[in-house]
Amino acid sequence: MNEMWDAIVVGGGLAGWTAGIRAAQRGKKVLLVTEGVGTLFYFSGIFDYGDVEGLRHLPKHPYTLFDSQAILQGQHFVQKICPEYVVSDLPQTAFTVLGTVRQGDLMPRSMVLPDRQGQGTFVLLVPEGLKDFFPEIVAANMTREFPGWQVSVKKMQVEALAEWTRLGKNVSSIDYAAIWRSEAGQRALAQEIEEIKRQYQEAGKSTSQIVVVLPSLVRGYFDSSRTKPFRNEISLPVMEMSSFVPSPHGRYLAEYLKHTFTDLGGELMIGARAVSINGEATAEGQAKAGQELIVHSMGKSLRLKGKKFILATGGLLGGGIKVSMARKSISEGVFDLPLYVPNEWSGPKFFAPQPFTQVGVETDEFMRPLDPTSGQVVWGNVHVVGRMLAHWDPWTQRCGGGVSVTSGYVAAELI
């Protein structure tokens, strides 16, 4: 292959898609190579940024690599490609599928909770057979969280899945999200909600403060189909809860990002595994320059030429870092980059910050990989993004989306 790309992005998770889309928006010839879908399928629908200013004070945290402007630009980038998402100075809150309240930094309008001090009625609309969803517990938690609000539960049978539920099969929130995205599903939902409204009116109650809450993605955002999304008029406000696994938000966001990327002219190689890179230093003591990425795809070995490479392979969970307990080894799987590995792997308290979360690649301010011993840049035309970066913990710092989006965005600006 003699084709040459301005950038080859390795990895199709949040960081890789962000880098690929932004590079394509900037008119770059970009190829994204990915083996799988990454951790997006676990995504709640909410981008967590965490306490950005506080985290910037931690030495070596990825946020120390970016200025506030870059973080803000990344958020606006998300909002531009996903217009239903609201950027706000203040953290917003949403319901979890347990009916508890969680904070988040960038979430769709349809998840943002109303004022807790206010009053109203939540009608929890529960489609039959929804797996791992316990309406009574959820309603009790909602009541605790919103003491001034009434909470009632309404079960709903969905015609298309009636046979499944009759046979006792569980239905996932992904199955329901697919129903709500269809014209028939939207119509059924609109009718059900109309019926709720009618019942309240018949009982002589005001409907002005009723909010219907659904444990699934119900709105037509992340629509990557080429058809105009169907939007039925729904007569009461509808709110979504954040997703649980398997996540419809993550599933549709992944699809949507893929289409956004290819619509912008980005080229894609799915089911392809990057295994190594060829390149060398041009002079003694200089960083190496990668030239060809070696990729295994459909039983073939391909050599793909790039001017720049973005490593977005997702760390320990994404498959970018391999650990062999038997051989007591840990390695980065494509560029064989040196890794920061803490002395202790785990700590005694399960919910406390765990040292292994800090494993990753240390970089300079341009996200170029460093050798932690010498402090020298290893590859001059490689940028490392997302979970591959060292010194952060998405769990206790709650900044997974923030670090992935910002690093992917900034890397694309460096192409």
Ligand X SMILES: Cc1cc2nc3c(=O)[nH]c(=O)nc-3n(C[C@H](O)[C@H](O)[C@H](O)COP(=O)(O)OP(=O)(O)OC[C@H]3O[C@@H](n4cnc5c(N)ncnc54)[C@H](O)[C@@H]3O)c2cc1C
Q: Is 11 in the site for ligand X (CB under 6 A)?
A: yes
Which residue's CB is nearer to ligand X, number 75 or number 186? 75
Strands (E), 221-327: 238-240, 267-270, 273-281, 288-297, 300-311, 321-324
Closest approach, Cβ 10 to ligand X, in A, equals 5
Instruction: Mention every residue, 6+ apart, whose C-beta is less than 8 A from residue 231.
Output: 186, 220
Helix axes 68-81, 14-25, angle to 10 degrees: 90
Say how far apart CA 337 and CA 121 lie, in whole Å.
Answer: 55
Query: Is residue 357 a contact partner of residue 351, using CB atoms and an 8 Å limit?
Result: no
Task: Indicate whether 62 belongs to the interface with ligand X (CB under 6 A).
Answer: no
The reply to whether 12 sits near ligand X by the rule CB under 6 A is yes
Amino acid identity at 116: R
- Verify binding: residue 20, ligand X, rule CB under 6 A: no
To ligand X, the closest distance from the beta carbon of 135 in angstroms equals 23
Task: Write out the two tokens for 156.
Answer: 């709903």
Residue from 381, 400, 406, 410 in contact with ligand X (CB under 6 A): 400
Rounded to an integer, what distance in angstroms lies between the CA atom of residue 376 and that of residue 369?
8
Q: Determine, following the binding rule CB under 6 A, whether residue 269 of this chain makes contact with ligand X.
A: no
Cβ closer to ligand X: 111 or 158?
A: 111
Q: Which is nearer to ligand X, 185 or 314 (CB)?
A: 314
Q: Residue 82 CB, nearest distance to ligand X (Å)? A: 13
Of 22, 24, 47, 363, the one binding ligand X (CB under 6 A) is 47
The one-letter code for the residue type at 301 is: S
Q: Write down the H helix ranges in 264-386.
A: 315-318
Residue 389's DSSP bridge partners are: 361
Q: Which of 390, 328, 313, 404 is nearest to 357 (CA)?
A: 390
- The residue within the footprint of ligand X, chosen from 21, 24, 29, 48 (CB under 6 A), is 48
Stretch of 11-19, 58-66, 110-118, 373-381 lying at the interface with ligand X (CB under 6 A):
11-19
Report residue 94: phi and psi, to 5°.
-140, 160
Tokens of 258: 């893929």
Among 22, 181, 308, 387, binds ligand X (CB under 6 A): 387
CB of 43 to ligand X, least distance (A): 5
In the complex with ligand X, which residue's Cβ is closer, 47 or 85?
A: 47
Residues 285-324 as x/- pattern, contact with ligand X by CB under 6 A? ---------------------------xxx--xxxx----
246 contacts ligand X (rule: CB under 6 A): no
Residue among 13, 12, 17, 15 nearest 33 (CA) = 12
Of the pair 44, 110, the CB lying nearest ligand X is at 44
Determine, following the binding rule CB under 6 A, whether residue 200 of this chain makes contact with ligand X: no
266 is an interface residue for ligand X by CB under 6 A: no
User: Is the Cβ of residue 239 or residue 403 nearer to ligand X in the bound state?
Assistant: 403
Among 7, 8, 9, 14, binds ligand X (CB under 6 A): 14
Please list the alpha-helical segments (H only) found in 91-234: 135-145, 162-166, 173-180, 183-202
Return the sign of the alpha-carbon dihedral for residues 384, 385, 387, 391. Answer: positive
Q: Which window, 6-14, 113-121, 199-207, 227-235, contacts ligand X (CB under 6 A)?
A: 6-14
Cα–Cα separations (whole angstroms), residue 381 to 136, 138, 231, 319, 354: 55, 50, 46, 22, 32
The binding track of 214-243 with respect to ligand X, each residue x by CB under 6 A or -, is ------------------------------
Element (H, E) at 4: strand 4-10
Angle at 199 between CA 129 and CA 155, to 5 degrees: 5
Q: Give residue 245's identity as a one-letter amino acid code.
A: V
Which residues, in sequence order, are bridge partners of residue 122?
151, 211
> Is 60 or 154 the residue whose CB approaches ligand X more closely?
60
127 binds ligand X (CB under 6 A): no
Assess contact for 245 and 171: CB atoms under 8 A. no
The H or E element that residue 212 is part of is: strand 210-214
Nearest distance in Å: CB 258, ligand X: 11
- The residue from 20, 306, 333, 360 that contacts ligand X (CB under 6 A) is 333
Nearer CB in complex with ligand X: 9/287: 9
Q: Is 254 in the site for ligand X (CB under 6 A)?
A: no
Site residues for ligand X, window 26-45 (CB under 6 A)?
Answer: 33-40, 42-44
- List interacting residues with ligand X (CB under 6 A): 10-16, 33-40, 42-44, 46-48, 273-274, 312-314, 317-320, 333-334, 386-387, 394, 400-401, 404
